[in-house]
Amino acid sequence: MPARLIVHGGAWRIPPEEHADHLQGVEAAARAGWALLMEGASALDVVEKAVMLLEDDPTFDAGTGSVLNCLGEIEMDAIIMDGRTLEMGAVAAVQGIQNPVRLARLVLEDTDHNMLVGQGAHDFARLKGMRFTPAAALTVPREVKRFMAFQAQPPTKSAESFTAAASGGTVGAVALDNSGNIAVATSTGGTAFSLPGRVGDSPLVGSGAYADNETGGASLTGHGEKIMQVVLAKHATDLIRLGKSAQEAADASIAYLYQRVEGYGGLIVVDKFGGLGFAHNTPHMAVAWVDETGALHTYIAPPA
């Protein structure tokens, strides 16, 4: 089985002046993840590494660069799932961590649980000797400015933020390794100006991510409340079981998201046969992938 990798940096209306940074960010994550895959790394290790790079890139709404909630604080969510065993680790509403996906991996590896949230997740990070990062070091000027604008005039409808230039970019990766194992990871700083403790689709298994060697893997981004309502990552991988390719599953999933709940978002998919796909109904989505020849491609908008 030839290896495959696809990553995303969020689906929303990305301001034109930020396109270059988004493309460079997803390209760097895909390149580093692919190098690991070529060295024989597992799909699980590859999606963790790719998402850590995207978390560390201040361009994206995950890790450093996360959006601020209505208290001006960063709360982050992440999940990582192993399609070989269906085991996962997830964290939600964690603060002061450089790499939430790393903490999610530790939940997978070192606990009998699948998900830790809030203070409990924070205490677990301390227990594992993780390094903490002051909120100020995770917070970028772009998000301070956005927060101040929101505070001056709070948004009236959360759905609007996914078609207006007021959202950020959740990140994710799906990989298929040479052993035929599929893994997925998704990480986010959530939605700007949300209530504290708000959790969207990203860290929820079946909603923001799903991986199963019997079908494929999918990572979601967009309006989390809508994506949750249709449990879209599981929906996408179930379509592969029903005979769809990765691209057909991606297209059908976004159609379903809009048809059932008028939701906006995007997803990346890898099927167990090595097919890659992505789809979005937002103006833009930052994506990078490696094709069967090993060539790296990037994408941010449909052809004009």
Interface residues toward a copy of itself, by CB under 8 A: 75, 86-88, 92-93, 111-124, 157-158, 194-200, 204-207, 210, 224-225, 228-231, 234-235, 238, 260-261
Which of these, 216, 203, 221, 191, lies nearest to 287 by C-alpha position?
Answer: 221
CA distance 44 to 89: 11
Burial class from Cβ neighbours inside 10 Å (0-12, 13-18, 19+) for residue 117 reads middle
Smallest distance from a copy of itself to CB 171, Å: 20
Nearer to a copy of itself, 54 or 228 (CB): 228
Nearer to a copy of itself, 108 or 250 (CB): 108
Smallest distance from a copy of itself to CB 92, Å: 6
Longest Cα–Cα distance of the chain, Å, equals 54
**Which residue among 59, 170, 191, 221 is the active-site one?**
170
Nearer to a copy of itself, 33 or 96 (CB): 96
- Identify whether 139 is a catalytic site residue: no
Q: Could you tell me the CA-to-CA distances from 76 to 8, 31, 53, 171, 280 in Å, in that order? A: 17, 25, 15, 12, 23
Smallest distance from a copy of itself to CB 80, Å: 13
Tokens of 21: 């940074």
Smallest distance from a copy of itself to CB 181, Å: 15
Nearer to a copy of itself, 233 or 286 (CB): 233
DSSP SS3 for 255: helix
Listed in sequence order, the residues at least 6 apart from 164 whose beta carbon sits closer than 8 Å to its beta carbon are 13
Which of these, 161, 188, 170, lies nearest to 92 by C-alpha position?
Answer: 188
Q: Which residues are catalytic?
A: 170
